[in-house]
Amino acid sequence: MRYDQRIIDDVRSANNIVEVIGEYLPLKRSGANYRTLCPFHQEKTPSFMVSPSKQIFKCFGCGKGGNVFTFLMEYEKINFNEAVQKLAQRAGIKLPEKEISTEKQTLYSELYEIYKIANQYYRNNLLKSGAFALKYLHSRQISDETIKTFQIGLASDRWDDLSNYLKKKHFGQKSFSESGLFTERQGKVYDKFYSRIMFPIFSSDGKVIAFGGRIYKEEDDRAAKYLNSPENLIYKKRYHLYGLFQTKHFITQKKSALIVEGNTDLLKVYQHGFRNVVASLGTALTGNQIKLLARYTKNVYILYDGDEAGYKASARAIKVCLENSVFPKIVMLPENYDPDSFLDEFGTEKLQEEIDKAFSFYQFIKVYKNADKSLENKEDAIDELIDNLMLIQDPVQREMYIQESSALFRISETNIIRSINRRLTKSFKRYASLKANQPETILSPIHRGFGAGGIGEKELLKMVVNFPEECADAMPFLEPEYFTHPIFQKLVSIIKKQDNLIQFTAQSSKLLDYFAPDEIDFVSDLMFFEGEFSKTVLHKLLNGLQIRKLNLDLQKINQEIIEHPDNFEKLREKKVIQKKIHQLKGGVVRKLLS
């Protein structure tokens, strides 16, 4: 539950961003702002700025920016509500209790308690009566230390053991049903995981929230070798990573993480000394899982099976990573080896060698698609490459990867950019849905004839945000549809709804509340503007935006006329648009705003 906006505003007002950041970093005065070395990337010259007047921060090195809540979220690796709570405590503000019904709160508590007790029960079973299961684990080279660290247990052979044990703890029937640990047949409650080795799944803060179970007896002919807890009130698998609770300290320490597919792969990799490892819970890697991992590191290595299924999974994982500003490297194991079997045959040093020579995403695409074999393969690889490049959010990073890809595939940067633009032309809707800020070397259809990468859009909005009074006369002529970038469109929509633009934009920190965490860096960049206002430049930029939009409309109508030459209504629309373009080029808007 998000706190009421009034509460958020009170907490914000009570915590001066300069004082809060000053408790973490040594700030030095720099004109109207404060400056220090950025805590989010390595640098020698300070480029991290804090504005006391706007109550925001911005690093001009790595691009990070935001308000006092964003800073705590990034620095402490906490979520928004936790940042509000921490700042409220700092300011002595009492927050209201979360409005969760008593019944639901009881269910939450009971489910956590059921999983905690079930885990203890399974662990005791393995130690007391799990000789055969232990023998199996040892045969898979899983050590007693690893068993203890990951709290591996055993569900007994009796179908009602766990349910009878938990009934003595007086849990409610609803908690039993919601837990996902039992099935009901013919009026009887059966333990879903009976006679399986149990792998508990922890949240990142150490609560047991689910289990994975594996059969271990040769004579066990059940169809499902692996069985996982279903999702419930406390467990949504797309938000969690197996092993993260045990390995997050090593990930932070090593400043990198290996991602494997399965639990047993993780255990084997872990006990061979690669302790900075997580697994994706038997499902395709999700954006939420990458966001969770990115709290600890963005230096990610994908270590999947060395077969076609593993390579396809790696290709999917690359896209998920790039969408979340994580640039993975891919470890390509020899054909038909998984991490477990590779370590058994070749050992730790060989795996480290494979990790050391891991491929960037564009190198992986070339190798995986066998691009050097034929022209058809190369075309297929480049097609995949373009899809991936379009997902990169940061314009500088995207340009760097375009340069690297150009050299690797021996194709000019210009042609790569043209290919991207061609796809954007075919699917403007997809372009608009990109989270990323378009790189300055890549033009959308609207950008053509107006300068690279939406420079005009960005400069115009910088003026509107920083000089609202001077731009007031221009606002009636400004529409979201004139902008190609979704964040720009969103910002203009928000601004147009305000009764008092001057008062609204003066609250720079509050303006950021309207944007998602992955948008804040971009919006905060608009707010740090130290240039001077120019009415001439404003008129020129606004004219350009309107003409671009009309040119796009004209392109669409021309296409429709080609397909339907007898559509006289479209011909009339074309003339109207052409007249508007002519008027704008003649300076009609400039005259209106003079």
Question: Measured at the alpha carbon of residue 70, what is the angle toward residues 64 and 76, in degrees to the nearest 5?
Answer: 95
- Per-residue confidence (pLDDT) for residue 480, from 0 to 100: 86
The pTM for the full model equals 0.61
- Per-residue confidence (pLDDT) for residue 434, from 0 to 100: 42
- Per-residue confidence (pLDDT) for residue 516, from 0 to 100: 83
Distance CA 111, CA 117 (A): 10
Token readout for 579 is 């007249």
Tens place of pLDDT for every residue, the chain, 594 residues? 567 676 887 788 788 899 899 999 999 988 878 999 999 998 889 999 998 878 899 999 988 999 999 999 998 888 888 899 999 988 888 887 655 556 666 787 889 899 999 999 999 999 998 999 999 999 989 999 999 999 999 999 988 889 888 888 878 777 888 898 998 887 788 899 999 999 999 988 788 999 999 999 989 888 888 899 999 888 888 889 999 999 988 998 898 999 999 899 999 999 999 999 999 986 789 988 998 888 778 899 999 999 999 999 999 999 999 988 899 999 999 999 999 999 999 999 999 999 999 999 999 999 999 999 999 999 999 999 999 998 887 878 888 999 999 999 999 999 998 887 777 655 444 434 443 444 433 433 323 333 333 557 888 888 888 888 888 888 888 888 888 788 888 998 888 888 777 766 666 777 888 888 778 888 888 887 767 788 888 888 888 888 878 887 888 888 777 777 777 787 788 888 788 777 776 654 444 344
The H or E element spanning position 550 is helix 535-563
CA-based nearest residue to 292, from 303, 278, 302: 278
In terms of Cβ atoms closer than 10 Å to its own Cβ (0-12, 13-18, 19+), residue 220 is exposed
Task: Decide if 248 contacts 204 (C-beta within 8 A).
Answer: yes
CA–centroid distance for 181 within its chain = 31
